[in-house]
């Protein structure tokens, strides 16, 4: 299988939900769910946190993750690219542990509804298909071929994507997917040398909607809290 590093990137300056990554969700900090899932997967020797926040670092260490560096301010801004942040954590980890990793799996702290099996099964699919990298997504509720529209500079409204012939039912449109920002996987040479997420050999692991919510707003947070409470009551 090769060696696999896990990174979890969590900056302190979240805008949609204040202190989102360590805000309590059903009895424990949000980031704790992702750390516990990573540990339970059994795939990783090291689970590394990239953060600019001492508070996040303290919580992450309390739940068994490793924090051996503080993210540079320029990589913790609103304009910093996620891929650059993940690559930075990977390079720092190889230097810190004096080891080359074959693969990197990044788990987003804001996707606590993923299952441990999602982590293991997406990695198994990645290996089986010999992907260069892999992203996760769910089937989209809306389709760019049917009910997603764009407005041009001259004010014209049109479908985002057009087919040669029109369709009258969303079910007849080509399948489209919403990225759920849950799991990202790379081969070592790809994360170090590529600057795009979408490559010729990018894999797609499809997750159900109920495990695909990425917390970005207070409403997202409340919805995830509701779903967790509902699952606990079963």
User: Count of domains in the chain?
Assistant: 2
Give ∠ CA 117-123-127 in degrees, rounded to 5: 140
pTM of the model: 0.93
Find, among 118, 86, 108, the residue nearest to 31 by Cα: 108
Is there a single domain that holds both residue 48 and residue 89? Answer: yes
DSSP per residue over 77-110, as a string?
Answer: STT--HHHHHHHHHHHHHHHHT---SEEEEE-TT
- Tell me the C-alpha distance between 35 and 8, whole Å: 8
- Tell me the C-alpha distance between 176 and 180, whole Å: 13
Is there a single domain that holds both residue 131 and residue 151? Answer: no
Domain enclosing residue 31, as ranges: 4-137+177-233
Provide the pLDDT for residue 234. 59
Is there a single domain that holds both residue 76 and residue 150? Answer: no
Question: Is the CB of residue 213 less than 8 Å from the CB of residue 180?
Answer: yes
Is there a single domain that holds both residue 42 and residue 99? Answer: yes
Tens-binned pLDDT, residue by residue, of the chain (234 aa): 789 999 999 998 776 688 899 999 999 999 999 999 999 999 999 999 999 999 999 999 999 999 999 998 877 777 678 899 999 999 999 999 999 999 999 999 999 999 999 999 999 999 999 999 999 999 999 899 998 999 999 999 999 998 888 888 878 889 999 999 999 999 999 999 999 999 999 999 999 999 999 999 999 999 999 999 877 765
Is there a single domain that holds both residue 151 and residue 167? Answer: yes
Is there a single domain that holds both residue 101 and residue 189? Answer: yes
Provide the pLDDT for residue 233. 60
Is there a single domain that holds both residue 112 and residue 146? Answer: no
Is there a single domain that holds both residue 58 and residue 156? Answer: no
Is there a single domain that holds both residue 121 and residue 12? Answer: yes
Is there a single domain that holds both residue 28 and residue 118? Answer: yes
């Amino acid at each position: 299988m090769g060696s696999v590093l896990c990174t979890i990137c969590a900056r302190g300056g979240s805008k949609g939900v204040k202190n989102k990554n360590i805000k309590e969700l059903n009895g424990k900090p949000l980031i704790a769910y992702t750390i516990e899932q990573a540990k339970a997967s059994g795939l990783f020797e090291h689970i590394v946190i990239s953060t600019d926040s001492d508070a996040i670092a303290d919580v992450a260490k309390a739940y068994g993750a490793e924090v051996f560096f503080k993210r540079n301010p320029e990589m913790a801004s609103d304009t910093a690219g996620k891929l650059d942040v993940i690559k930075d954590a990977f390079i720092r980890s190889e230097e810190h542990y004096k080891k080359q990793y074959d693969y990197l799996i990044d788990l987003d702290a804001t996707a606590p509804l993923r299952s441990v099996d999602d982590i293991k099964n997406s990695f198994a699919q990645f290996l089986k298909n010999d992907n260069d990298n892999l992203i996760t997504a769910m089937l989209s509720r809306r389709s760019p071929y049917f009910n997603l529209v764009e407005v041009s500079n001259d004010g014209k409204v049109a479908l985002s994507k057009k087919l040669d012939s029109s369709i009258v039912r969303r079910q007849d449109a080509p399948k489209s997917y919403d990225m759920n920002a849950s799991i990202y996987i790379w081969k070592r040479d790809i994360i170090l040398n590529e600057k795009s997420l979408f490559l010729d050999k990018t894999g797609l692991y499809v997750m159900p909607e109920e495990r695909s919510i990425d917390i970005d707003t207070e409403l997202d947070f409340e919805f995830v809290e509701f779903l967790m409470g509902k699952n606990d009551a079963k």
